[in-house]
Structure 1
Amino acid sequence: MTRDGVVVVDNEETRDDAFEVRRAVFVEEQGVPESLEWDEYEDEATHVVAYDEGQPVGAARFRDYDLDGDRVCKVERVAVLESARGEDWGRRLMEVVEGEAEAAGFDRFFLHAQTSAREFYQKLGYEQVGEEFLEADIPHVKMVKSL
């Protein structure tokens, strides 16, 4: 099912499209090593991909996570191709992620935001907790949101 151009990955083709976006943004653009980009959570995570006129332009994933003894939704690998930034794809991806996660029983979310995206997540209701840290040599902050 497509919502506002964003689909939940349910086959190999859409999964490959999500991975293509992640490769372009994280590996090629930002220099994240492939060994860090793909991990042991790929199969358990729920992936989403955004399409603009049939072409993949954004991706994200979420998964169940134990945060301090509580079950929360961890949002990860949110990416929009440089050519599609500023066109609202990030918000649309996050709306689908949060909607799908809420339907799966989550009411608390957390993510590690690149500091350059902190303001984007704040506009979506996320709050920073803790100090800045490096992840894949990129400055990040931990952010949380409750529904």
Structure 2
Amino acid sequence: MQEIRIMQWDEAKDLAYPIRLTVFVHEQGVPEALELDTDDALAWHAVILDHGKAIATGRLLKNGKIGRLAVLKEYRGLGLGSELLKTLVSYGRQEGITQFFLHAQTTAIGFYERHGFNAIGLPFEEAGIDHIKMVLTPH
């Protein structure tokens, strides 16, 4: 049984950080020192649990920035990234956020475009990986 929970960092850290460490640091080579930042304490964190095991995570800042979307490899392709993204946007709207944006890895542009995000500006490097800013088009 899967469930999505939204929580603050003090509750989310032990669930979300191991996923981020696996995906971003071990798989993608992001320096571990860059993975945690001061925004974690300020963000809402969504965590998908599968029979109590944390398998996917993402965060939302009060300025509408979505980030740190990560799904464990064995659970990819099941729509969990989409579920996380929709949950974060929906929760943000409930909290009064009207504009959402993110820094997408350029390899994930198509994923975000399918959810209504549009790329703006030029690609840039973040943590050694090419990214581009994307904004959610209001509907």
What is the TM-score with the length of structure 2 in the denominator?
0.92
Taking every aligned residue pair, what percent have the same amino acid on both sides?
A: 38
Structure showing the higher helix proportion among its residues? 2
Q: CA deviation at 1:40?
A: 1.0
Look up the SS of the partner of 2:38 in the other structure.
coil
Q: CA RMSD in A?
A: 1.5
Q: Is the 8 A contact 1:132 1:141 kept in 2?
A: yes
* Cα deviations by residue, 1:124-147 (Å, 9 ceiling, x for unpaired): 000000111110010111100143
Correspondent of 2:60 among 56, 59, 62: 62
Q: Is the 8 A contact 1:107 1:146 kept in 2?
A: no
In the alignment, what sits opposite 2:71? 80
Q: Name the aligned partner's letter for residue 140 of structure 1.
A: H
Correspondent of 1:22 among 14, 17, 20: 20
Aligned residue-pair number: 137
Q: Is the 8 A contact 1:9 1:15 kept in 2?
A: no
In 1, Cα distance between the equivalents of 2:62 and 2:78? 29
Correspondence 1:1-147 to 2 at 5 A:
5-10=3-8, 12=10, 14-65=12-63, 73-147=64-138
In 1, Cα distance between the equivalents of 2:9 and 2:133? 31
In the alignment, what sits opposite 1:70? none
Q: Name the aligned partner's letter for residue 31 of structure 2.
A: P
Q: Is the 8 A contact 2:116 2:136 kept in 1?
A: yes
Gaps of 5+ in 2: none
Q: Is the 8 A contact 1:128 1:142 kept in 2?
A: yes
Task: Decide whether aligned partners of structure 1 residues 144 and 38 sit closer, same or farther in structure 2, where only a CA change above 3 A counts.
Answer: same
Q: Name the aligned partner's letter for residue 123 of structure 1.
A: R
Structure showing the higher strand proportion among its residues? 1
Gaps of 5+ in 1: 66-72
